[in-house]
């Protein structure tokens, strides 16, 4: 209805405009459309929404009792063959049918050995690898709600021989026989005669080397296949052994000596000796080592040397300054007590004094004549002429007279002030909420009206052992002795247990353990000794009386000394002989008399030295006798 009206179209340009109009009138059809717009669709919707009567479900299908259309048949096979039983039965579409394979009365399950299949009335049982143990009577049972059917067959498995005696490969068997056939021993050849060693090349030597440089000696020798050949190096006739500095190699006819870093003592004749059971050979070479100077006396850097001499030159000591003198201390600003201090507040006391830079000045605080020390509530500061005391949390007993004392070698000064602390109530007796206080009071009144429970006094019973003391009567030294007993009453908290050995009380210790709980008493001794033999008594005692129970224990002692060897039999004989040798006293050897030596004398004198320059090395030597006197003293 909103579209009813006059519609106008205007067209305008620079020359003028033109317009045309038309009226539109719309006839109403109502707010709800009751007439259908598509007759065929409306008819289909009515058919779909119409109520239909439920169709009756067909009755469940009924199946007959199972019958076999094909029976399983007997099978004979060899060990290792694949065997398969097959059968067919009807009805093949019964969903409630169940099948079961049985061997010799034992049901079979699907697995790695037995593969069971069933599909549309066709049943199979496959055995992947047959063993003689699989032989027997196999049955297939098929059953449903109407009945069951059974078919049987026999499986016979022929076993293989345990040992395969036939040859699987003729050519290999023939070859094995040829290899294992006894052969005639080869004739022994006479060993070739040994040759004496011979050096085939002279020793290669570096000649002259400087101290610290390496040296290499090398030569060749024959025969190279003699395992008895021995190589030895000598320096000036003295044998030389292999070490971290000297490396010796002798292999395949090559003889090598390497010196890692030469020293002056390596100078001389180096001789190589090759020896076997037939003879020996020698070859030698000369080595000269130029020694270095041990001390470098000339400076490497002149400027550094001059700076060192300047630093090490003696210097004049500075004149001692007289210490500063300070006057006696004075208080320039007195202590002021804070007012209106309550318990729990913080207090700050402050004063100023002079001199401020005296290192010997001491500052102390006192309360009622007693010194105050630095604690978690007291903080004291003394610096730059200020003396400060902070009390972080005031208590009632902190009230009193506080004194600041400042002193040095010249005198002392002090300032005092009285600090008042208003204590607070420790208990809040007024209720915070009247309503809650009233409810608490009513609850406490109701509890007080309840009649008090009267405690019935327990009847005091005399203790009785319901189970006597039991334990071992005989044991060996070092064993464990365990004694137990039971008593009543078990709920008497005033009942005490005591243990006695031959009338002497026993107490807990490193060997003796006692337990008393729920009417059971235990005494355990480990290890036991012969002194523990005797009569053990357990006494239970309370206010009504006492009861006792006892038993005897005998300890078999061990020998104090072990005479038999504790070692295994295969090593006992040798070990005992070795111990006897070690413990046998050796004969005392007589010390030879001390040899007497004559007075010492020089067999050669010092030689005169030529003129030397400063820093040069000198060497002087002389010989004297006797040479083996260990009490001879040499002084230079």
Distance CA 502, CA 500 (A): 6
| 377 three-class SS | coil
Residues 39, 43, 49, CA angle at the centre, nearest 5°?
Answer: 145
CA neighbours closer than 13 Å in the CB half-sphere of residue 450: 7
Q: What is the SS3 assignment for 554?
A: strand
DSSP 213-252: --EEEEEEEE-SS-TT-EEEEEETTEEE---SSEEEEEET
**Pseudo-torsion of CA 300, 306, 310, 311, nearest 10°?**
-30
- All structural domains of the chain, each given as residue ranges with its CATH number in brackets, are 67-158 (2.60.40.10), 198-290 (2.60.40.10), 330-422 (2.60.40.10), 464-556 (2.60.40.10)
**Cα 54 vs. chain centroid, distance in angstroms?**
77
Q: What SS3 state is found at 366? A: strand
The three-class DSSP label of residue 533 is: coil
pLDDT of residue 255: 92
pLDDT score of 418: 92
> CA–CA separation, 431 vs 438, rounded Å?
9
Peptide bond into 307 cis (omega under 30): no
Mean pLDDT in consecutive groups of 10 residues from the start of the chain, 636 residues: 74 77 72 76 85 74 87 91 92 87 91 88 91 91 90 91 77 87 78 85 86 90 87 92 90 90 89 90 90 75 86 80 83 89 89 89 92 90 90 89 92 91 75 80 76 59 89 89 90 88 89 90 91 92 90 86 68 72 69 74 78 75 79 80
Q: Looking at 228-355, which runs of residues are DSSP E strands? A: 230-235, 238-240, 246-251, 254-259, 268-275, 280-290, 330-333, 341-342, 347-354
- Spatial distance between the Cα atoms of 164 and 159, rounded to a whole number of angstroms: 12
Residue 274, judged by CB atoms within 10 A of its CB (0-12, 13-18, 19+), counts as: buried
- Cβ distance 488 to 464 under 8 Å? yes
DSSP bridge partners of 19: 10
Q: For residues 603 and 362, what is the distance between their CA atoms, to the nearest angstrom?
A: 81
If one counts every other C-beta atom within 10 angstroms of the C-beta of residue 63, the result is 17
Alpha-carbon distances, residue 167 vs 79, 109, 172 (angstroms): 20, 40, 9
Pairwise CA distance, residues 492 & 456, whole Å? 15
Total-model pTM: 0.25
Q: Which residues contact 510 (CB under 8 A, 6 or more apart)?
A: none
The answer to whether residues 617 and 293 touch, using CB atoms and an 8 Å cutoff, is yes
Structure tokens that stand for 361 in this block: 């000045």
């Amino acid at each position: 209805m909103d579209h009813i009206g006059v519609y106008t179209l205007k067209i305008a340009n620079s020359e003028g405009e033109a317009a045309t109009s038309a009226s539109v009138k719309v006839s109403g059809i109502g707010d709800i459309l009751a007439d259908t717009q598509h007759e065929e669709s409306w008819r289909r919707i009515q058919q779909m929404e119409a109520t239909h009567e439920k169709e009756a479900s067909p009755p469940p299908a009924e199946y007959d009792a199972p019958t076999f259309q094909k029976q399983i048949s007997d099978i004979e096979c060899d060990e290792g063959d694949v065997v398969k039983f097959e059968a067919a039965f009807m009805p093949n579409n019964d969903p409630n049918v169940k099948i079961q394979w049985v061997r010799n009365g034992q049901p079979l399950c699907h697995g790695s050995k037995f593969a069971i299949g069933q599909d549309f009335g066709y049943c199979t049982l496959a055995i992947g690898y047959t063993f003689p143990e699989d032989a027997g009577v196999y049955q297939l049972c098929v059953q449903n709600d109407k009945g069951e059917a059974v078919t049987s067959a026999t499986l016979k498995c022929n076993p293989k021989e345990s040992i395969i005696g036939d040859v699987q490969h003729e050519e290999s068997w023939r070859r094995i026989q040829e290899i294992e056939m006894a052969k005639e021993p080869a004739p022994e050849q006479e060993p070739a005669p040994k040759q004496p060693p011979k050096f085939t090349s002279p020793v290669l030597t570096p000649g002259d080397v400087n101290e610290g440089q390496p040296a290499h000696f090398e030569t060749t020798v024959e025969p190279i296949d003699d395992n008895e050949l021995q190589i030895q190096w000598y320096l000036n006739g003295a044998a030389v052994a292999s070490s971290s500095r000297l490396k010796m190699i002798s292999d395949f006819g090559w003889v090598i000596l390497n010196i890692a870093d030469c020293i002056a003592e390596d100078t001389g004749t180096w001789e190589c000796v090759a020896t076997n059971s037939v003879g020996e050979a020698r070859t030698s070479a000369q080595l000269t080592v130029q020694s270095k100077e041990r001390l470098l006396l000339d400076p490497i850097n002149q400027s550094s040397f001059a700076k060192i001499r300047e630093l090490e030159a003696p210097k004049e000591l500075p004149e001692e300054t007289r210490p500063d003198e300070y006057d006696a201390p004075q208080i320039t600003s007195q202590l002021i007590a804070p007012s209106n201090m309550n318990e729990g507040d913080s207090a700050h006391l402050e004063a100023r004094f002079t001199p401020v830079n005296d290192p010997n000045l001491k500052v102390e605080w006192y309360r009622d004549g007693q010194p105050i020390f630095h604690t978690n509530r007291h903080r004291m500061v003394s610096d730059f002429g200020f003396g400060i005391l902070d009390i972080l949390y005031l208590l009632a007993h902190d009230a009193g007279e506080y004194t600041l004392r400042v002193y040095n070698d010249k005198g002392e000064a002090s300032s005092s002030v009285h600090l008042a602390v208003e204590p607070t109530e420790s208990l809040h007796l007024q209720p915070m909420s009247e309503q809650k206080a009233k409810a608490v009071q009513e609850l406490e009144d109701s509890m007080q009206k309840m009649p008090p429970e009267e405690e019935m006094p327990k009847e005091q019973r005399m203790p009785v052992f319901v189970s006597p003391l039991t334990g071992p009567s005989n044991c060996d030294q070092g064993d464990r002795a365990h004694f137990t007993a039971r008593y009543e009453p078990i709920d008497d908290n005033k009942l005490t247990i005591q243990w006695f050995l031959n009338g002497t009380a026993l107490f807990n210790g490193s060997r003796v353990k006692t337990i008393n709980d729920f009417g059971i008493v235990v005494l355990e001794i480990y290890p036991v000794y012969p002194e523990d033999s005797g009569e053990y008594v357990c006494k239970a005692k309370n206010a009504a009386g006492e009861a006792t129970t006892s038993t005897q224990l005998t300890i078999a002692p061990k020998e104090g000394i072990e005479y038999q060897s504790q070692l295994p039999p295969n090593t006992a004989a040798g070990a005992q002989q070795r111990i006897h040798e070690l413990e046998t006293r050796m004969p005392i050897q007589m010390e030879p008399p001390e040899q007497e030596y004559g007075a010492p004398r020089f067999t050669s004198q010092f030689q005169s030295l030529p003129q030397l320059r400063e820093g040069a090395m000198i060497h002087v030597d002389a010989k004297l006798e006797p040479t083996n006197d260990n009490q001879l003293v040499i002084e230079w």
